[in-house]
Amino acid sequence: MIQKPKGCNDIYGREAKIWKYVESIIDATMEKYNYNYIRTPIFESTELFHRGIGESTDIVTKETYDFVDRGGRKMTLRPEGTAGVCRSYVENKMYGDPNQPVKVYYNGTMYRYERPQSGRDRELTQFGMEVLGSDDPFTDAEVISLAVNIYKMLGLKEIKVNINTLGDKESRDMYRSALIDYFKPHIEELCEDCQTRLEKNPLRILDCKVDSDNELLKNAPKTIDYLNDFSRERFEQVKDYLDILQIKYEVNPNIVRGLDYYNHTVFEIEANVKGFGANNVLGGGGRYNHLCSEIGGPETPCIGFASGIGRLVMALELEEVKLPIVEDIDLFLMYVNEDEKKYALYLAQELRMSGFIVDTEYTGRSLKAQFKQADRLHAKYVAILNSEDLDNNEIKIRDNKTKEEEIISLDALIYYLDEKLNTGASDVTEDEIYSWEEHEENCDGDCGESCHCGHHHE
């Protein structure tokens, strides 16, 4: 038996409905903040990620899926979304758009070759947002608040924001020198990767998973102690704006994030969820003012955020958040003979086009088995098609909860269901359900898109 690759998942059934609900909340919230959806390729030039993310990061050195295509080009499955968005921004000259800044969001699969564990897979789905073209600290605060509000709208209660600043280039260079001076006498005490990082990018040492409990890392110099006046004042502005938005936060000088392109504000958002484990970070992001110029575009101030949807769904389940997931259907159509089956096909489409959730029989089961199937689908109502009733332009409807039955006119079916289910379907359609014989009599064989009968007309 062929099995799925390690670190990948099949998402279906109730879990898939939860994912779709989460995505619908993301879409709706992004729309309220006037962010536009962007979709970039799943694979891009290897150079984009190696230059953009940074050659010294764990993602590039250990986790990217790199390959050479049939044309001899070096390609990489995208490990994160920001670099691709910046490439699109530069290539499509979005910086020339009079509507600035450019605010976009994405939702797609990423690929990282890492050891699969709870909430961390080799194929993962991330949603994220990017604001390109604004250096205002106001933007930093709004991006953080947008992420927090999505989590709160989904029902997570104990959300914690950790923020830090890496400062501008001058501040970061001073901090880099301080880290080298601090770690150099003790470099033998660190892992092999950290020994390599010392000269390339010592900030990566602070993000090391192997040495995370080492006292050297805990007592290392803090970014805040090396900020120049401009960077310090800017950070204070970000905090002031967060206070206005009533976003609770803590300054955590240990946050440096795992990618090379960050400067100024960096942040992570945690969820205090029982059973989530020590690593309770849902997502994070920060400001990156030089990435666009690194990949050949103009110097553009940007800030972004990303969050794994799989990890978010796990948090919702662990916290037992009750989501409004639709797990029932409005109506199940039942039939026995071929004529009734044909009418079920026609009627199901009419009702679906009127806004009802309808299912029917597909495997030739007995009437008794169809009743059981309706129960499994949590059908609110059952329609029992009977040839004699249909000849009289009538249909038998059964309330699947009370088991009460009544026979109604087919012409009134939409209005009957609308009243019982309160869907509003009768307000948006004037179509009536005709008897099968009347439909065939009225249809001239050339009804095309205006007809929902399901026939193939010559």
CATH of domain 13-168+228-318: 3.30.930.10
By the 8 A CB rule, do 126 and 110 touch? yes
Q: Which two tokens stand for residue 414?
A: 């939409």
Q: How far is CA 27 from CA 106, 281, 284, in A?
A: 9, 22, 19
Per residue, the 3-state secondary structure of the chain, as one string, reads CCCCCCCCCCCCHHHHHHHHHHHHHHHHHHHHCCCEECCCCCEEEHHHHHHHHCCCCHHHHHHCEEEECCCCCEEEECCCCHHHHHHHHHHCCHHHCCCCCEEEEEEEEEECCCCCECCECCEEEEEEEEEECCCCHHHHHHHHHHHHHHHHHHCCCCEEEEEEECCCHHHHHHHHHHHHHHHHHHHHHCCHHHHHHHHHCHHHHHHCCCCCCCHHHHCCCCHHHHCCHHHHHHHHHHHHHHHHCCCCEEECCCCCCCCCCCEEEEEEEEECCCCCCCCCEEEEEEECCCHHHHCCCCCCCEEEEEEEHHHHHHHHHHCCCCCCCCCCEEEEEECCCHHHHHHHHHHHHHHHHCCCCEEECCCCCCHHHHHHHHHHCCEEEEEECCHHHHHCCEEEEEECCCCCEEEEEHHHHHHHHHHHHCCCHHHCCCCCCCCHHHHHHHCCCCCHHHCCCCCCCC
Label residue 35 by pLDDT band (50, 70, 90).
Answer: very high
pLDDT given for residue 442 in this prediction? 56
The phi-psi region of residue 277 (left if phi > 0; otherwise alpha if psi is between -120 and 50; otherwise beta) is left
CATH 3.40.50.800 applies to domain 329-450: yes
The average pLDDT across 109-129 equals 88
pLDDT given for residue 444 in this prediction? 53
pLDDT given for residue 14 in this prediction? 93
pLDDT given for residue 277 in this prediction? 67
The pTM of the full predicted model, rounded to 2 decimals, is 0.83
pLDDT given for residue 215 in this prediction? 76
Three-point CA angle 95, 97, 103, nearest 5°: 75
Q: What is the mean pLDDT of the chain?
A: 87
- Closest to 203 measured CA to CA, from 57, 362, 397, 10: 57
Q: Would the pLDDT of 168 be above 50?
A: yes
Tell me whether strands 36-37 and 102-111 are parallel, antiparallel or unpaired. Answer: parallel
Q: Would the pLDDT of 200 be above 80?
A: no
Query: Where exactly are the structural domains of the chain?
Result: 13-168+228-318, 329-450
Longest CA–CA separation in the chain, Å? 94
Q: Would the pLDDT of 431 be above 70?
A: no
Cα separation of 90 and 110, whole Å?
Answer: 21
Q: Which two tokens stand for residue 15?
A: 């879990």
The average pLDDT across 204-210 equals 73
In CATH terms, are 13-168+228-318 and 329-450 the same topology? Answer: no
Q: Would the pLDDT of 448 be above 70?
A: no
pLDDT digits (tens, 9 = 90+) for 259-270: 667 889 999 999
Half-sphere exposure of 27 (CA within 13 A, CB side): 10
Label residue 425 by pLDDT band (50, 70, 90).
Answer: low
